[in-house]
Structures are given as C-alpha cells and as structure tokens.
Structure 1
Amino acid sequence: MNEALRRAMAQARVTDRQLADRCGVDVKTVGRWITQSGRVPHARHRWAICEAVGEDEAVLWPAAAKRAIKVGPDREVVAVYPYRSACPSTLWRSLITKAERQLAFAGYTNYFLWLEQARFGTALRRKAAQGCQVRFLLGHPESDLTRAREREEDVALTLSTRIRVTLAELEKIREQAGISAKYSDGHAYLSVFRFDDDMIVTPLLTHHVGHDAPTLHLRRHQDDGMFDRFAAHVEELWNRGTPVWGGERHDG
C-alpha cells in the first residue's frame, strides 16, 4: 500500500471519489494508486494529486521523483507543452497560490489570465496584501508595434482590445499596495510569467496568437541558468518600462 498517499489524503480530508474527479479518472483507479505501492500515476495526475492533498511528489512517489531528477543543463526544465493552451489551468492557479515573494506577468496582453483564472483580481489583491510583489508588463494598445502584430495575427479580438481588457481589470485593483504595471515593447514575441522560483515561458511564433505558443515550465536550480537569464530579461524590461498609471507612452 502507498501509505504516504493514503496518509496525505486523510490529512487533507480528500476522499477517493474527490480525487478521482480532480484527476478525471475512475474511482477504482484511485483505489489502485493507494493499494498498489508500485502503481505510479501519470505525471499530469501526480501534479493534480499533489495539489489536492498539499504534498510533494518526492514524498508520495519517491522512486518516480528520483528517476525524474536531471543533472544536466536542462535540469531547470520541469515540463514542456507544444501549446500554451495545453498547460493545465490548475498549474497556473497552484503557482499563483504558492508564490510568496513575487508574481511577474510579462505577457504582451495577459488577457487570458482574466478568462482562465477564476477571481484572478481577488487573488492578486490577496497576494499583494500578504506582501507579495505583483507586477505586470504590457504592450501599449496604441503603439506601432501593437498595430503591426495585429496585422500579423489577423483575428477578430484584436491585440489592443485584449490589452485594454487587462488595463480595465488592473484599474479595479490598482489602489492595492504592491500591485504595479508598466508598458514595454521588448517582450512582444516572448512572454515570461514568474512565480517566485517557478516560471512559465512562451516564445510567440509568427502569425500565431499566444495560446498556440510552445510553453516551458521552469524551476530555478542554479545561478545563471535558464531561469536566471529569463528573470534578468524581465528585470531589464521593467527598469526600461513606462508606468501605466501616471504618464502613458505612445510609440506611434
């Protein structure tokens, strides 16, 4: 029997049925995960289970975690998704919830976050009130670059409209200390989202919208690795950016 999983479920007061619903599997499958110690769920299910019971994968399935340990330069790569839309919304929510020091959303519009994350503004306000730094980098809705990208994308819901949705949502929480936003054009084709020592990176492809972008989930494990390099990129853009509130910039 997987005693670690059984104990974690009991402590979190999560039933077999609740865990099955969370993972999208039959309740009998959950039963086998518990009663057969050598039975290891698929990676996506392990992540959902860890989130549901509040325990680390290394505790619940130490052998699987050990096999997954990387020692090369790619050890900071946690997962790869061919499309941003394939990255589970539960992963985003978990990373946002667990962050304690900083949240940085350096997407050109950040529009999808308000759609996919329930009560996103409330979550941001709560994190900021707890001392977490919350920052947004956005493209300017009236810049030449934005208009050029709109011609490339050629979709009904324009880039400028998506930016303005984010601006409207941020306006509702701008009075909360710890939340700030700037305009930048240096991330037009590369979105970086930071959650303390975790990060989601999406390089945008020509003539594709954000949800079609290949996506990396990174976790910091070394100095000057992939994580630090993307983090430095965001910091440079932030230092060069123009505040959204108090002096707007027009590139056109």
Structure 2
Amino acid sequence: MPNDRLRDGLLKRGLTPAALAEELGVDPKTVERWITQDRTPYPRYRHAIAALLREGESYLWPSALPAERAAQVSQSEIVHVYPRRGAVPQELWQRLLDGASRHIGILVYAGLFLPEQNPRWVATLRAKAEAGAQVELLFGDPEGQHVAQRGEDEGIGSAIASKVLNTLAFYKDLRGLDTVGIYYHDTILYNSIYRFDEELLVNTHLYGTPAAYAPVLHLRRLGGGELFDNYVSSFNRTISQARAVWPED
C-alpha cells in the first residue's frame, strides 16, 4: 500500500522524490520505496521529513512509534493548561498571532471576545493574510440548530446567534482577500480551536457553561505527537462541511 500522506505532503510543498532524496542525501529509489511501498524511514530521516513538510511524524507514519512512546510525546505537546479562558494572558493571544506566518485558523461559535478586547486583532489578521498566510475563520451558523441548542443549554436564548453577527461586523475588512476564508458551520462544537502555525489554544466546552469559564489547553506540535494533529484534523473535518459567509467574495 502506498504512503499517500507522504506523497500528498511532497506535492503540497512542490517537492519531487528526487528533490527530497537530494535534501536528505539518500538514493532516490529509497524515497520511491517510502512512497510506493510505505517503507518506514529511519528516525533521523523521519524527523527531517516531518520538519521539511511541516507535518507530524504520527500523521505521516502512524505506526512508526510504539503506542507508549507516542503517548509520552503527546504529553510533551501540552505547553500549559489554563483553568478557564479568562485566565489566558491577553498578551499570549497577540504573541501567537504575531508569530504566525503560514496558517491561522479559528473555529468558534462566536469568538466575539477576540476583536472586542483587542483593537489590533483584525488589523493584524489582515496584515498576515496580505503577507501570504492562509486565514480560515469558522463561525456558528446563526440560523443553525447547534447555535440555537447551545443558547438553550446556556440559558441565553438567541444571544449566541446575535454575537455571531456582531463578530462578523468586525471581520468585514477581511472580505475579498485571496488567502482568507470566512465560513459558517453547523456542527456540535466540542471545542473552540485557535491555530497559529504549530501552536494551538483549545478551549474545551462544558455543558451549560459559557466558554469563557471552561479550561484551555495550549499545545505545540511535536514530531511523533498526536494531540496537535488530532485537533487539526477536527478543524479540517468541520471546514469540509462549512459554507461561505459571503459567497460572492
């Protein structure tokens, strides 16, 4: 069985098997076997390839690490745990955004607190997008069943739907930018996810509790870890079912 994840990673980075072989100092036929026969490279090559493709080792070679070792690496991906979102330092949000250059992703129901509390937030996002970063913003569909259900669970009725529309008013300056996608989703949101390149803030959701009072995990991707990649996969599955807020753009 071929390693389609490795093949896809090379295509995304515009690399040929021969170019990868030259980069690693190995025979091109060896790289071909890694792809076509799903041979597992030695650890030093796995580390180098994962760094070059900006993918996790556990994603490219799921069976390469023993389960116990993968669990240990995943634990090391946890930078910090905050007991509630309000305990996350305000400067951390801006530092993570300032440091991102490739991929910024936000998956929330409303997330009004970000542009409301930080006047630089949207302007920084625009500057990142204009510099080439891919920006993906997913908001709960104000007419969807899950936003309505979340409002009922929290006892605030239609307030969340109104917050979504208020939030979008802040982001209207990002409309029309080629590297920005702004979407509605209608999914059960188990976590709010904020991605800044290889770091994540994951705001867990607790039944009947506003997100501001639920714990937040700060994660940093490590080769061989699983936590970061699992949350990114969840983000990607959600965006695959989303629809554009402004289809005309």
The TM-score, its normalising length taken from structure 1, stands at 0.66
Q: CA deviation at 1:157?
A: 8.1
After superposition, what is the alpha-carbon deviation per residue over 1:16-40, rounded to whole angstroms, capped at 9, x for unaligned?
A: xxxxxxxxxxxxxxxxxxxxxxxxx
2:249 matches 1:242: no
Could you tell which deviates more after superposition, 178-187 or 227-236? 178-187
The correspondence of residues 27-176 of structure 1 with structure 2, limited to 5 A, is 72-155=73-156, 158-176=159-177
**Aligned pair in 2 of structure 1 residues 187, 195: CA closer, same or farther (>3 Å)?**
farther
| Gap runs ≥5 in structure 2 | 1-70
State percent identity of aligned pairs: 30
Q: CA deviation at 1:90?
A: 0.5
Q: CA deviation at 1:212?
A: 0.7
Q: CA deviation at 1:72?
A: 4.4
2:182 matches 1:181: yes
Paired residue secondary structure (1:200): strand
Paired residue secondary structure (1:100): coil
1-side partners of 2:215 and 2:208: how far apart? 14
Name the counterpart of 1:222. Answer: 223
Q: CA deviation at 1:185?
A: 2.5
2:234 matches 1:233: yes
After superposition, what is the alpha-carbon deviation per residue over 1:100-152, rounded to whole angstroms, capped at 9, x for unaligned?
A: 10100011112111122222111111000111111111111111221121111
| Gap runs ≥5 in structure 1 | 1-69, 248-252
Q: CA deviation at 1:218?
A: 0.1
Name the counterpart of 2:198. Answer: 197
**Aligned pair in 2 of structure 1 residues 156, 89: CA closer, same or farther (>3 Å)?**
farther
Paired residue secondary structure (2:235): helix
1-side partners of 2:75 and 2:188: how far apart? 23
Structure 2 residue identity aligned to 1:109? A
Paired residue secondary structure (2:75): coil
Name the counterpart of 2:24. Answer: none
Instruction: Tell whether the 8 Å contact from 2:74 to 2:225 is kept in structure 1 after alignment.
Output: no
**Aligned pair in 2 of structure 1 residues 96, 157: CA closer, same or farther (>3 Å)?**
farther
1-side partners of 2:164 and 2:173: how far apart? 15
Instruction: Tell whether the 8 Å contact from 1:84 to 1:215 is kept in structure 2 after alignment.
Output: yes
Instruction: Tell whether the 8 Å contact from 1:106 to 1:187 is kept in structure 2 after alignment.
Output: no
Q: CA deviation at 1:156?
A: 8.0
Structure with greater contact order relative to length (CA < 8 Å, sep ≥ 6): 2
**Aligned pair in 2 of structure 1 residues 161, 173: CA closer, same or farther (>3 Å)?**
same
Q: CA deviation at 1:79?
A: 0.2
Instruction: Tell whether the 8 Å contact from 2:104 to 2:135 is kept in structure 1 after alignment.
Output: yes
Q: CA deviation at 1:240?
A: 1.6
After superposition, what is the alpha-carbon deviation per residue over 1:149-183, rounded to whole angstroms, capped at 9, x for unaligned?
A: 11111238810111001221222321223111111
Instruction: Tell whether the 8 Å contact from 2:73 to 2:222 is kept in structure 1 after alignment.
Output: no
Paired residue secondary structure (1:148): helix
Aligned residues: 178
Structure 2 residue identity aligned to 1:115? E
Instruction: Tell whether the 8 Å contact from 1:111 to 1:163 is kept in structure 2 after alignment.
Output: yes
Instruction: Tell whether the 8 Å contact from 2:78 to 2:220 is kept in structure 1 after alignment.
Output: yes
